[in-house]
Structure 1
């Protein structure tokens, strides 16, 4: 059974983000917040790969491609957040969150669930931004109205 390209590329996003953050953890760079922003590169890569595949298949409908790019991004983000939650609980749960939340702006002491929900909301917004910016990039590929 062949996986849909949105799911396949979402898994690629998840693997890329997971390996990137594990590498940052091993190199003791996880406290540098600006390096965390580079995870958007993996989201762009996966969504762009989906759009490229759609165009090669002849799918030029703007709305279909926008939904496909957003779905790819959101799958990768949901998988990444689920992986992060599992990783947090494997490292000690709420006590491990205190190490992670030092570089984020949290009031009080966030729990693992609060932390991941906040990142999920951020991820959904970034998925929208990625989908819309890629659709602007690919706009010239669509037939003229």
Structure 2
């Protein structure tokens, strides 16, 4: 059984984000919410890998590539949030969340479920934006019809 490239690249996104956050944790920067915005780099990387692979394989259908890009980025985000839930549970659950950035999304003390759900929503939004931006970038590379755009003459 061959694993789809979208899932492989989603796993690469997961590894990149996971290693990035483990390094932040080891260096003591896990509570700095500004550094968390850099995880979008890994989403861009994995999604670009999928689109490049599709283009090399001759897949020039814009809708199919858009679905492929969304599938890649969403799978990476979903795997990352599942990994975070496991990590938080190992580190102490709700008590560990209190040590993370208080400026993130909540005032007060969020639970593991609330924290993970908010990260999942944030991740899906960023994954959707990344996919949309990359499709805008790759759009000129795809032909919408075999004859190209027709000029309108007056």
Mark the runs of 5 or more structure 2 residues left unpaired by the alignment. Answer: 146-154
State the partner residue of 2:126: 126
Mark the runs of 5 or more structure 1 residues left unpaired by the alignment. Answer: none
State the partner residue of 1:90: 90
What is the TM-score of this pair, normalised by structure 1?
Answer: 0.96
**How big is the alpha-carbon RMSD for the aligned residues of Structure 1 and Structure 2?**
1.0
**Larger Cα Rg: Structure 1 or Structure 2?**
2
Instruction: Classify the secondary structure of the residue corresponding to 1:103.
Output: coil
Compare 120-129 and 101-110 and name the one that shifted more.
101-110
What is the TM-score of this pair, normalised by structure 2?
Answer: 0.91
State the partner residue of 1:64: 64
CA deviations 1:48-107 (Å, max 9, x no partner) are 100000000111111100010000000000000000000000000011111114131313
Pairs aligned (count): 145
Q: Is the Cα–Cα contact under 8 Å of residues 30 and 101 in structure 2 kept in the other structure? A: no
CA deviations 1:94-126 (Å, max 9, x no partner) are 111111141313132100010000000001111
Which structure features the higher share of helix residues? 1
